[in-house]
Structure 1
Amino acid sequence: MKEYNALIQVCINNARKTNDEEVAIEEMSKAFRFFRLMREQGYELREQTYSPFLVYLIDMGMVEEFQLFCEVLKDENPSSVSRLGYYEMMLWLRVDNKEKIQDLCNSIAVNDGTDSSGLGENYLLAFCESDWKEGLLQLLEIVDITKLSSTESATSIFKSLGRLSLESYAEKFLSAFKTCDDEANNVTNFIASYTVSLPNLAVEDVILKFKDLHQKLEVSPSSSSYAKLIVYACDLLEVHSALKIVCEMCEAGLTLSTEVLNSILRSVEETCEYNLVHWIYSLISHYHLKPNCETFRCMINMCTRMKDFESAAKMLDDLEEMNLKPTSSMYNAIMAGYFREKNVDDALRVLECMKNAGVKPDSGTFNHLIGNSKTEEDITKYYEEMLSSCQPTKQTFVALVTAYAACGQLEKAKQVVLDPAIPPKSLNEIKCALLSTLASHGQLSDSIHIYEEIKESGNTLEPKAVISLIEGHIKSDGELDILFLLLKELTDPDYWVDGCSRIIMFCVENKHLSSAVDLIKQLNDKVQDNELLMEVLLDQVFSKIASSESTDLKFGLDLYWLIRKVLGIVPSRQCLDFLLTACANAKDLQNIRKIWKEYQLAGYPFNVLSYVRMYRALLVAEDYKSANFILKKIPKDDPDVRRVVKACQKTCNGRIALEKLTNNMNKKEKEEDLLD
Structure 2
Amino acid sequence: MKEILKLLEIIDIKNLSSAESVAKVFQALGRLLLEPLAEKFLLDFKTSDHEADNITNFIASYAVSIPDLSIRNISQMVLIISVEDVIKKFKDLHQRLEVSPSSSSYEKLILHSCALLEVHVALDIVDEMCEAGLTLSTKALHSILQICDDTSEYNLVHRIFSTIRHYNLESDDETFRSMIDFFLKMKDIEGAYKMLDDLEELNLKLTPGMYNAIMAECFQEKNISDGVRVLEHMQCADVKPDSQTFSCLISNSETKEDIAKYYEELKQSGIVATKQIFMALINAYAACGQLEKAKKVILDPLIPPKSLNQIKGFLVSVLASHGQLSGALVIYDKIKQSGHKLEAKEITSLIEHTHSEGELDRLLLLLEELDDTDYWNDACCRIILYCIWNKHLSSAVELCNLLMDKFQSDEQVMEFLFDKVFSLIEESSHLHTFLELLSEIKDKLGLLPSQKRHDSLLRVTATDLHDSDF
Matches within 5 A, 1:652-667: none
Residue 591 (structure 1) shift:
5.9
1:218 maps to what in 2? 93
AA at the equivalent of 2:221: E
2:237 maps to what in 1? 357
Residue 439 (structure 1) shift:
2.1
Using the alignment, how far apart are the partners of 2:302 and 2:249 within structure 1?
19
1:186 maps to what in 2? 57
Say if 2:436 is the partner of 1:550. Answer: no
1:379 maps to what in 2? 259
AA at the equivalent of 1:483: L
Residue 356 (structure 1) shift:
2.0
C-alpha spacing 1:564/1:154, structure 2 compared with 1 (3 Å): farther
Consecutive unaligned residues of structure 1, counting only runs of 5 or more, are 1-133, 596-676
The question of whether the paired residues in 1 share the 8 Å contact of 2:113 and 2:122 is answered with no
1:426 maps to what in 2? 307
1:346 maps to what in 2? 226
Per-residue displacement from partner, 1:567-601 (whole Å, max 9, x unpaired)?
Answer: 5565362x3343123324x5x69569x87xxxxxx
2:126 maps to what in 1? 250
Residue 241 (structure 1) shift:
0.8
1:444 maps to what in 2? 325
Matches within 5 A, 1:276-295: 276-285=153-162, 288=166, 290=169, 291-295=171-175
Q: 2:41 aligns with which of 161, 172, 176?
A: 176
C-alpha spacing 1:173/1:253, structure 2 compared with 1 (3 Å): closer
C-alpha spacing 1:449/1:253, structure 2 compared with 1 (3 Å): same
AA at the equivalent of 2:19: T
- Identity, % of aligned positions: 47
Say if 2:202 is the partner of 1:328. Answer: no
Using the alignment, how far apart are the partners of 1:227 and 1:522 within structure 2?
54
Using the alignment, how far apart are the partners of 2:36 and 2:448 within structure 1?
51
Using the alignment, how far apart are the partners of 2:5 and 2:337 within structure 1?
58
Q: Secondary structure of the residue that 2:294 maps to in structure 1?
A: helix
Of structures 1 and 2, the larger Rg is shown by 1
Residue 456 (structure 1) shift:
5.1
Q: Secondary structure of the residue that 1:319 maps to in structure 2?
A: helix
Per-residue displacement from partner, 1:138-193 (whole Å, max 9, x unpaired)?
Answer: 998876554444434556x569x87xx98589996796366324223331454489
C-alpha spacing 1:447/1:223, structure 2 compared with 1 (3 Å): farther
Say if 2:112 is the partner of 1:241. Answer: no
AA at the equivalent of 1:581: R
1:463 maps to what in 2? 344
Residue 222 (structure 1) shift:
5.7
Using the alignment, how far apart are the partners of 1:313 and 1:263 within structure 2?
24
Per-residue displacement from partner, 1:369-397 (whole Å, max 9, x unpaired)?
Answer: 12222333322221221122222222112
The question of whether the paired residues in 2 share the 8 Å contact of 1:401 and 1:413 is answered with yes
Residue 513 (structure 1) shift:
4.0
Q: TM-score, normalization: structure 1? A: 0.53
C-alpha spacing 1:276/1:525, structure 2 compared with 1 (3 Å): farther
AA at the equivalent of 1:549: S
C-alpha spacing 1:538/1:400, structure 2 compared with 1 (3 Å): same
AA at the equivalent of 1:185: T
Residue 441 (structure 1) shift:
2.3
The question of whether the paired residues in 1 share the 8 Å contact of 2:391 and 2:433 is answered with no
Per-residue displacement from partner, 1:436-462 (whole Å, max 9, x unpaired)?
Answer: 222222333443344444445555533
1:581 maps to what in 2? 459
Number of equivalences: 439
Using the alignment, how far apart are the partners of 2:59 and 2:296 within structure 1?
61
Using the alignment, how far apart are the partners of 1:210 and 1:534 within structure 2?
52
C-alpha spacing 1:249/1:539, structure 2 compared with 1 (3 Å): same
Of 432-441 and 248-257, the range deviating more from structure 2: 248-257
Q: Secondary structure of the residue that 1:550 maps to in structure 2?
A: helix
The question of whether the paired residues in 1 share the 8 Å contact of 2:208 and 2:240 is answered with yes
Q: 2:193 aligns with which of 301, 313, 325?
A: 313
C-alpha spacing 1:249/1:519, structure 2 compared with 1 (3 Å): farther
Using the alignment, how far apart are the partners of 1:175 and 1:485 within structure 2?
72
Per-residue displacement from partner, 1:350-377 (whole Å, max 9, x unpaired)?
Answer: 2222222322222221111122223333
Say if 2:270 is the partner of 1:400. Answer: no
C-alpha spacing 1:477/1:258, structure 2 compared with 1 (3 Å): farther
Say if 2:294 is the partner of 1:413. Answer: yes
Using the alignment, how far apart are the partners of 2:260 and 2:217 within structure 1?
23
Using the alignment, how far apart are the partners of 1:232 and 1:567 within structure 2?
53
Residue 333 (structure 1) shift:
1.2
Residue 248 (structure 1) shift:
4.7
Using the alignment, how far apart are the partners of 1:280 and 1:296 within structure 2?
10
Q: Secondary structure of the residue that 2:323 maps to in structure 1?
A: coil
Using the alignment, how far apart are the partners of 2:37 and 2:443 within structure 1?
58
Using the alignment, how far apart are the partners of 2:82 and 2:387 within structure 1?
51
Residue 509 (structure 1) shift:
3.9
The question of whether the paired residues in 2 share the 8 Å contact of 1:297 and 1:329 is answered with yes
Q: 1:301 aligns with which of 181, 193, 197?
A: 181
Say if 2:30 is the partner of 1:151. Answer: no
Residue 205 (structure 1) shift:
8.1
Of 254-263 and 168-177, the range deviating more from structure 2: 168-177
C-alpha spacing 1:482/1:462, structure 2 compared with 1 (3 Å): same
Using the alignment, how far apart are the partners of 1:432 and 1:510 within structure 2?
28
2:386 maps to what in 1? 506
Using the alignment, how far apart are the partners of 1:457 and 1:140 within structure 2?
68
Using the alignment, how far apart are the partners of 1:525 and 1:174 within structure 2?
60
The question of whether the paired residues in 2 share the 8 Å contact of 1:542 and 1:579 is answered with no
C-alpha spacing 1:268/1:247, structure 2 compared with 1 (3 Å): closer
Per-residue displacement from partner, 1:283-321 (whole Å, max 9, x unpaired)?
Answer: 443675745432232232344355443433333344346
1:31 maps to what in 2? none
C-alpha spacing 1:313/1:526, structure 2 compared with 1 (3 Å): farther
AA at the equivalent of 1:176: F
Using the alignment, how far apart are the partners of 2:412 and 2:297 within structure 1?
43
Q: 1:490 aligns with which of 370, 382, 385?
A: 370
C-alpha spacing 1:212/1:316, structure 2 compared with 1 (3 Å): closer
Residue 277 (structure 1) shift:
1.7
Using the alignment, how far apart are the partners of 1:485 and 1:210 within structure 2?
64
Matches within 5 A, 1:82-161: 145-152=13-20, 154=22
Per-residue displacement from partner, 1:311-347 (whole Å, max 9, x unpaired)?
Answer: 3333334434655343322221111122223322221
Q: Secondary structure of the residue that 1:388 maps to in structure 2?
A: helix
The question of whether the paired residues in 1 share the 8 Å contact of 2:106 and 2:129 is answered with no
2:353 maps to what in 1? 472
Using the alignment, how far apart are the partners of 1:232 and 1:482 within structure 2?
56
Consecutive unaligned residues of structure 2, counting only runs of 5 or more, are 73-78, 95-99
The question of whether the paired residues in 1 share the 8 Å contact of 2:119 and 2:148 is answered with no
The question of whether the paired residues in 2 share the 8 Å contact of 1:268 and 1:276 is answered with yes
Using the alignment, how far apart are the partners of 1:468 and 1:571 within structure 2?
31
Please give the root-mean-square deviation of Cα atoms over the aligned residues, in Å.
4.7
Higher relative contact order (CA 8 A, sep 6+): 2
